[in-house]
Protein backbone atom coordinates (compact mmCIF):
# COMPACT_ATOMS: atom_id res chain seq x y z
CA UNK A 1 0.00 0.00 0.00
CA UNK A 2 1.15 3.40 -0.91
CA UNK A 3 0.03 6.62 0.69
CA UNK A 4 0.42 9.86 -1.13
CA UNK A 5 0.18 13.11 0.71
CA UNK A 6 -0.05 16.30 -1.22
CA UNK A 7 1.37 19.29 0.47
CA UNK A 8 0.58 22.81 -0.43
CA UNK A 9 3.70 24.86 0.07
CA UNK A 10 1.72 28.03 0.84
CA UNK A 11 0.14 26.52 3.99
CA UNK A 12 3.31 25.17 5.51
CA UNK A 13 3.48 26.20 9.23
CA UNK A 14 0.20 28.15 9.22
CA UNK A 15 -1.52 25.68 11.58
CA UNK A 16 0.88 26.49 14.41
CA UNK A 17 0.34 30.26 14.11
CA UNK A 18 -3.43 29.79 14.10
CA UNK A 19 -3.23 27.64 17.23
CA UNK A 20 -1.10 30.24 19.02
CA UNK A 21 -3.48 33.07 18.12
CA UNK A 22 -6.45 31.01 19.28
CA UNK A 23 -4.63 30.25 22.54
CA UNK A 24 -3.99 33.97 23.15
CA UNK A 25 -7.64 34.86 22.43
CA UNK A 26 -8.94 32.12 24.75
CA UNK A 27 -6.46 33.13 27.49
CA UNK A 28 -7.60 36.75 27.36
CA UNK A 29 -11.22 35.64 27.53
CA UNK A 30 -10.58 33.43 30.56
CA UNK A 31 -8.65 36.20 32.30
CA UNK A 32 -11.54 38.62 31.73
CA UNK A 33 -13.96 36.03 33.10
CA UNK A 34 -11.83 35.59 36.25
CA UNK A 35 -11.73 39.37 36.82
CA UNK A 36 -15.50 39.57 36.34
CA UNK A 37 -16.07 36.80 38.87
CA UNK A 38 -13.87 38.57 41.42
CA UNK A 39 -15.77 41.82 40.96
CA UNK A 40 -19.07 39.96 41.27
CA UNK A 41 -18.02 38.34 44.55
CA UNK A 42 -16.87 41.70 45.93
CA UNK A 43 -20.08 43.51 45.00
CA UNK A 44 -22.15 40.62 46.34
CA UNK A 45 -20.52 40.97 49.77
CA UNK A 46 -21.02 44.74 49.72
CA UNK A 47 -24.69 44.36 48.81
CA UNK A 48 -25.20 41.82 51.60
CA UNK A 49 -23.61 44.19 54.14
CA UNK A 50 -25.73 47.10 52.84
CA UNK A 51 -28.90 45.03 53.11
CA UNK A 52 -28.08 44.04 56.68
CA UNK A 53 -27.33 47.69 57.57
CA UNK A 54 -30.72 48.77 56.22
CA UNK A 55 -32.36 46.05 58.29
CA UNK A 56 -30.59 47.30 61.44
CA UNK A 57 -31.74 50.88 60.74
CA UNK A 58 -35.32 49.69 60.22
CA UNK A 59 -35.22 47.73 63.49
CA UNK A 60 -34.20 50.86 65.41
CA UNK A 61 -36.86 52.92 63.66
CA UNK A 62 -39.51 50.38 64.62
CA UNK A 63 -38.25 50.50 68.20
CA UNK A 64 -38.78 54.27 68.25
CA UNK A 65 -42.19 53.96 66.59
CA UNK A 66 -43.36 51.60 69.32
CA UNK A 67 -43.17 54.35 71.96
CA UNK A 68 -46.61 54.01 73.48
CA UNK A 69 -46.64 56.88 75.96
CA UNK A 70 -45.88 60.58 75.76
CA UNK A 71 -43.04 60.19 78.27
CA UNK A 72 -41.37 57.46 76.16
CA UNK A 73 -41.75 59.62 73.06
CA UNK A 74 -40.21 62.66 74.72
CA UNK A 75 -37.25 60.56 75.94
CA UNK A 76 -36.16 59.84 72.37
CA UNK A 77 -32.84 61.72 72.03
CA UNK A 78 -29.57 61.44 70.09
CA UNK A 79 -27.55 58.35 70.82
CA UNK A 80 -25.84 55.16 69.77
CA UNK A 81 -25.93 51.51 70.73
CA UNK A 82 -22.78 51.88 72.85
CA UNK A 83 -21.19 48.83 71.24
CA UNK A 84 -20.69 47.26 67.87
CA UNK A 85 -23.28 44.94 66.38
CA UNK A 86 -21.96 41.69 64.94
CA UNK A 87 -23.71 40.83 61.70
CA UNK A 88 -23.34 37.85 59.42
CA UNK A 89 -21.14 39.73 56.96
CA UNK A 90 -19.66 42.70 58.84
CA UNK A 91 -19.40 44.49 62.17
CA UNK A 92 -21.74 47.49 62.43
CA UNK A 93 -22.10 50.64 64.49
CA UNK A 94 -25.45 52.40 64.74
CA UNK A 95 -26.10 56.02 65.72
CA UNK A 96 -29.14 58.25 65.54
CA UNK A 97 -29.86 61.97 65.65
CA UNK A 98 -33.17 63.41 66.79
CA UNK A 99 -34.30 66.93 65.95
CA UNK A 100 -37.44 68.56 67.37
CA UNK A 101 -39.54 70.10 64.62
CA UNK A 102 -41.42 73.31 65.32
CA UNK A 103 -44.89 72.81 63.94
CA UNK A 104 -47.12 75.50 62.53
CA UNK A 105 -49.39 75.29 65.53
CA UNK A 106 -47.47 75.91 68.77
CA UNK A 107 -50.07 73.99 70.75
CA UNK A 108 -49.03 70.66 69.22
CA UNK A 109 -48.13 68.40 72.06
CA UNK A 110 -45.95 66.38 71.93
CA UNK A 111 -43.78 68.09 69.36
CA UNK A 112 -42.89 66.27 66.17
CA UNK A 113 -39.39 64.84 65.81
CA UNK A 114 -37.12 64.26 62.85
CA UNK A 115 -35.04 61.10 63.13
CA UNK A 116 -31.88 60.18 61.22
CA UNK A 117 -30.39 56.72 61.74
CA UNK A 118 -26.85 56.02 60.52
CA UNK A 119 -25.43 52.52 60.23
CA UNK A 120 -21.75 52.11 59.33
CA UNK A 121 -19.63 49.01 58.92
CA UNK A 122 -15.92 48.40 58.73
CA UNK A 123 -14.66 48.85 55.19
CA UNK A 124 -18.05 50.08 54.00
CA UNK A 125 -20.02 53.23 53.59
CA UNK A 126 -22.77 54.82 55.61
CA UNK A 127 -26.47 54.26 55.16
CA UNK A 128 -28.85 57.02 56.23
pLDDT tens per residue, range 43-97: 777 888 889 999 999 998 998 888 778 788 878 888 888 888 888 878 898 999 9
How far apart, in whole angstroms, are the C-alpha atoms of residue 46 and residue 32? 21
* pLDDT confidence of residue 126: 47
Sketch the domain layout of the chain as residue ranges. 11-121
Q: What are phi and psi of 39, to 5 degrees?
A: -65, -40
How much is the average pLDDT of 8-25?
Answer: 77
Inter-CA distances, 128 with 25, 80, 107, Å: 46, 14, 31
pLDDT exceeding 90 applies to what percent of the chain?
A: 19
Q: What does the mean pLDDT of the chain come to?
A: 80
Amino acid sequence: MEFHFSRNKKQKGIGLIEVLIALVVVSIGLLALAVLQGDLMNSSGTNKARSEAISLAEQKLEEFKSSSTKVEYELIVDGDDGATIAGTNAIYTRTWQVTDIDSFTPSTNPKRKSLSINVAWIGGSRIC
